[in-house]
Chain A
Amino acid sequence: MTGQTKRVVVAMAALALTASSLAVWADEDADLVVNGEIEMVVRTDAPAHLDGAVRTIYSGWVFRQDDTQAMQMDDFDNPGMLFAEQGQELFNTAMGANGESCASCHTNAEDLTRVRATYPKWDEAHGAVQTVEMQVQECQTESMGMAEAWGQNSQEMLNMTAYIASIGRGQVIDVAIDGPAQATWDAGKEIYYTRYGQLELSCANCHEQNYGNYIRADHLSQGQINGFPTYRLKNARLNGTHNRFRGCIRDTRGETFAIGSDEFIALELYVASRGNGLTVEGPSVRN
């Protein structure tokens, strides 16, 4: 394992040197239109708060190989949509002491169209920034009388967040980073630039300074989260945002934070804000 991780560093150094010849931008110009109707913004000017750290922000879709890209262009080819459909069924299924379904209160699911594009979001009543998962859990325990809410990384929750993302596809991401959310955002930004693990790599080392390069055989993206939850061909299931963060930190041989931890909530807000201007793509298809 040590040998392997060492190679990562060596490879990155080599890649950085040869970036111009190795960076394959074959699909940089590809546009993403899903089902021939939902037009996605896969590249746009970086939000002002990035302060020139990158000039253009890109959806992770841009960096994938053409056949992986194609799987996301048509709902039929996108296995993630199977789970979004199961989420839709759950949305209409009674659960909890009051025998209510989500649809009992949210009679028009379309009202949730902007949710994925605006979360994580400050919740006044709880005095904290909430992820979509936390909001769903809140509805379950506080409104529906469920003794125990779905786990943050449970299949039900992944299906539900895939459904909520799917109704917001094409919406331009615009998470608020000022006002009461600012402190959390600052904390997330700090985590983003902190070097973790034996490899001493920060998120920025890979996703800000080396996107477009190859790490081992993987084409590095900007680590955007507009496509979450993602259906990964690697494990053939939906993957949540915090789970992916965890994997990335683990790859630096670092101690990682827990799914649902304050650190990951802050990091999610910060990473989401780096994608302000891109569009909601979840459930997307990734390798």
Chain B
Amino acid sequence: MAENVTPRVRAPREASVGEVVSVRTLISHPMESGMRRDGDGNVIPRSIINRFVCTFNGEVVVDVTMEPSIATNPYFQFEAKVMESGTFNFTWYDDDGSVYEDSSDITVS
């Protein structure tokens, strides 16, 4: 089980109607690939975040299926088009069943 998983998001707090805004996310996670062996030669079991979803007011911005080749401490940057004020919700799904969430509000005028 991954310890100390800390999600971080950065999205603007304000934008104008129809603006395309840049969103960045970073989460601390070892992303154990399942390909490594420990000191005794045993395979360290795979333990990764396998999916990341960002929604805005309930509708999908981006939905990412993640594989072990995503680097430790996964980072994403992408863009959203905002037509109204609302909330970005960010969800990361861990192999071990854990779900990590964060959110960020934006005022659109």
Contact = CB atoms under 8 A, between A and B. Distances in A.
Do A and B interact?
yes
Interface of A: 76-77, 79, 82-83, 85-86, 236-237
Contacts of B72: 79, 236-237
Given A79-B72, A82-B8, 19 more contacts: A76-B10, A76-B24, A76-B26, A77-B24, A77-B26, A77-B75, A79-B26, A79-B28, A79-B73, A79-B75, A82-B6, A82-B28, A82-B73, A83-B28, A85-B6, A86-B4, A86-B28, A236-B72, A237-B72
B10 A236 contact: no
B20 interface: no
A3 B26 CA distance: 41
Contacts of B24: 76-77
The 3 A-B residue pairs with the shortest CB-CB distance in the complex, in nearest-first order: A236-B72, A82-B28, A79-B73
Contacts of B75: 77, 79
Contacts of B6: 82, 85-86
B71 A236 contact: yes
Contacts of A82: 6, 8, 26, 28, 73
Interface hub of A77, A79, A83 (most chain B Cβ within 10 A): A79
Nearest to B27: A82
Nearest to A82: B28
A86 B28 CA distance: 10
Contacts of A236: 71-73
A82 B6 CA distance: 7
Nearest to B10: A76
A78 to B, nearest CB: 9
A86 B30 CA distance: 14
A236 B26 CA distance: 13
Interface in B24-76: 24, 26, 28, 71-73, 75
Nearest to B73: A79
Nearest to B71: A236
A77 B73 CA distance: 11
Nearest to A231: B73
Contacts of B8: 76, 82
Nearest to A71: B75
A83 B28 CA distance: 8
B74 to A, nearest CB: 10
Nearest to B25: A76
A76 B6 CA distance: 13
A160 B73 CA distance: 18
A93 to B, nearest CB: 11
Contacts of A86: 4, 6, 28
Nearest to B72: A236
A86 B4 CA distance: 7
10 contacts: A76-B10, A76-B26, A77-B26, A79-B73, A82-B8, A82-B26, A82-B28, A86-B4, A86-B6, A237-B72
A90 to B, nearest CB: 10
A79 B24 CA distance: 13
A85 to B, nearest CB: 6
Contacts of B26: 76-77, 79, 82
A74 to B, nearest CB: 9
